[in-house]
Chain A
């Protein structure tokens, strides 16, 4: 069976991992062409993503960029799983949590992680604000997960994948034990364990 979708992304990172895990869950084969971030501005790649950013995916119908849009594309084209939720309302909840992740969770995580990873100079104000915002965001997530096994519905969706991947990447170098959030850890571990098994 020929592989119809070709993903152009970095070797590893939050966004390529999100997409590859989702494709794994969906049973869609995606060919991962490793590209470096500075190669993304080549004219052949700019024709597909004029922003010059990664990742983007080449589908039989055309290119799609923005990692969350690619996640939704994968979820829609999966025949076996309800990765996007069961009905319109659940689809929207998945969208809501994906957007929440990119506007509330990821900026806070980036404020903390980027100085550690060396992308940005250390700025104490930003980092302390980042910790405060992260605490608020994770508290919201924790409260939600007290009454729900999965973020949306009763099975793994791209919302779970989208939220767990940045947390997984962030939890490795930095310790978060001073934030007592037991529910998130248990959900995260279960989702990541399932995804690793599938790989």
Chain B
């Protein structure tokens, strides 16, 4: 100890060793201009999400951002704004959601989800270790590549956006069972999709299954896939989920697609309950459509 002390005290740099405060002050003085610049930058430091009024992809981002504690502002755009050059300068693909960070612009909802999760790694939103990160990636890709198209091939005919086609609908239904059994088997052995905490994979699955629960996941299916029900209910009971997606609406019996022409989005539930009444109202609605467009 004595030898080390002598060596330490005998060096020439005494003026810098014991005065950390003056060193810090000198740094601030030297970088005075930088400090002003940083001040300006801090004022513009909010993250902005550009989105449509209702989009499940933006809901995903909002839930993840609240869980991660990331501040953001949301800017709602109308359908016409997507083709304007100001928006195309941000996203040349003309799609939402778009996240504008102080560093630049980010597209693709799954990429933005990962960005949000990485800003708060300690919350475990992206998994706890490198292998869990890969599993979260895997499930996020699976949702976009497998679950999303299959589920929407059933939901879209029910909502009446496409021409009714019974064969296509039956094919879609078979695919839908196959995908849901995969998810069910996984959730039977795991409480959450990845690891032992809520991750962005759980959020993305639950936000899409809201459509299923509302429209095509009837009581029989729910008895057949109990783990999916359990998982979705646990995620849907989170405060942040309810703030952006609302209460989970569960249908008693699944809706079936219509054998008539496509209808407006607003009337989908009225149509489902009272098809005869809607048929009578249809000529009036068509004239309203013409007025609106």
Are A and B associated in one complex? Answer: yes
Q: Does chain B have a CB within 8 A of A132?
A: no
| Contact pick for B131, options A51, A61, A95, CB 8 Å | A61
Residues of the B chain whose Cβ atoms lie less than 8 Å from the Cβ of A150: none
| Contact pick for A143, options B92, B130, B145, B186, CB 8 Å | B92
Segment of A31-39, A68-76, A112-120, A183-191 engaged in the interface with chain B: A68-76
B182–A76 touching, CB < 8 Å: no
Residues of the B chain whose Cβ atoms lie less than 8 Å from the Cβ of A72: 133-134, 137
Segment of B9-17, B104-112, B238-246 engaged in the interface with chain A: B104-112
Residues of the A chain whose Cβ atoms lie less than 8 Å from the Cβ of B131: 59, 61-62, 64
| Contact pick for B134, options A50, A51, A73, A98, CB 8 Å | A73
**Can you list 25 A-B pairs with a CB-CB distance of less than 8 A?**
A51-B146, A51-B182, A61-B131, A62-B135, A65-B138, A66-B137, A69-B137, A70-B134, A72-B134, A72-B137, A76-B133, A89-B104, A92-B112, A95-B110, A95-B111, A95-B114, A95-B115, A96-B111, A99-B108, A99-B111, A99-B144, A102-B141, A103-B144, A104-B93, A140-B92
Q: How far is the CA of A95 from the CA of B106 in the complex (A)?
A: 10
Task: Kindly report which residue of chain A lies nearest to residue B186, judged by CB atoms.
Answer: A50
B134–A64 touching, CB < 8 Å: yes
Q: How far is the CA of A69 from the CA of B118 in the complex (A)?
A: 16
Question: Which residue, of A93, A95, A102, A140, has the highest number of chain B Cβ atoms within 10 A?
Answer: A95
Binding site for B on A (CB under 8 A): 50-51, 59, 61-62, 64-66, 68-70, 72-73, 76-77, 88-89, 91-93, 95-96, 98-100, 102-104, 140, 143
Task: Kindly report which residue of chain B lies nearest to residue A62, judged by CB atoms.
Answer: B131
Residues of the A chain whose Cβ atoms lie less than 8 Å from the Cβ of B129: 61
Q: Mark B120-155, 1 if CB is under 8 A from A, else 0.
A: 000000000111011101101110111000000000
Question: Which residue, of B118, B119, B137, has the highest number of chain A Cβ atoms within 10 A?
Answer: B137
Residues of the B chain whose Cβ atoms lie less than 8 Å from the Cβ of A92: 106, 111-112, 114-115, 118
| Contact pick for A88, options B115, B134, B146, CB 8 Å | B115
Residues of the B chain whose Cβ atoms lie less than 8 Å from the Cβ of A143: 92
Q: Which of B141-185 contact A (CB under 8 A)?
A: 141-142, 144-146, 182, 185
Shortest CB distance B12–A (Å) = 38
Q: Does chain A have a CB within 8 A of B101?
A: yes
Q: Does chain A have a CB within 8 A of B287?
A: no
Residues of the A chain whose Cβ atoms lie less than 8 Å from the Cβ of B137: 64, 66, 68-69, 72-73
Q: Does chain A have a CB within 8 A of B266?
A: no
Task: Kindly report which residue of chain B lies nearest to residue A94, judged by CB atoms.
Answer: B111
A96–B146 touching, CB < 8 Å: no
Q: Does chain A have a CB within 8 A of B103?
A: yes
A91–B114 touching, CB < 8 Å: yes
| Contact pick for B135, options A64, A88, A95, A98, CB 8 Å | A64
A-B complex: 7 closest residue pairs judged by Cβ atoms: A95-B111, A61-B131, A69-B137, A92-B115, A69-B138, A96-B111, A66-B141
| Contact pick for B182, options A50, A62, A64, A66, CB 8 Å | A50
Residues of the A chain whose Cβ atoms lie less than 8 Å from the Cβ of B107: 96, 100
Residues of the A chain whose Cβ atoms lie less than 8 Å from the Cβ of B182: 50-51
A51–B142 touching, CB < 8 Å: yes
* Given A61-B129, A64-B134, A140-B93; 16 other pairs, CB 8 A cutoff: A50-B182, A50-B185, A69-B140, A73-B133, A76-B133, A88-B119, A89-B106, A91-B115, A91-B118, A92-B114, A92-B118, A93-B111, A95-B110, A96-B106, A102-B141, A143-B92
Residues of the A chain whose Cβ atoms lie less than 8 Å from the Cβ of B134: 59, 64, 69-70, 72-73, 76
